[in-house]
Amino acid sequence: MKKFPVYIAHNKFGWSNPSAISTSANEVVFDMNKISDELKAKVFGQIGIVELTRAEMIEISDARTAVRRVGAKMFENIFKKSC
């Protein structure tokens, strides 16, 4: 199964919802309580690139609470230097 690099930002000590930034430069803020336990274990407390399958990305999208476009400079800082 093909995997895609996704930047996950989740502060395991905070109350805010985590976010995921894909290579399409979209940021999805999602509700951690609406994803499966397997995916939750994969993204909990992560700050950095995580390899996700298309099904996992769709699951995160289905649990979204907000979506926004990421600026070019932020996108470059995340993906050009780490992939």
Domain ranges (residues) in the chain:
3-82
pTM of the model: 0.86
Q: Which residues of 26-42 are buried (b: 16+ CB within 10 A; e: fewer)?
A: ebbbbebeebeeebeee
The kind and range of the H/E element at 7 are strand 3-9
Rounded-to-integer distance, Cα 13 and Cα 65, Å: 20
Model pLDDT for residues 51-67, shown as the tens digit of each residue: 999 999 999 999 999 99
In this prediction, residue 80 carries a pLDDT of: 74
pLDDT mean over 20-34 = 94
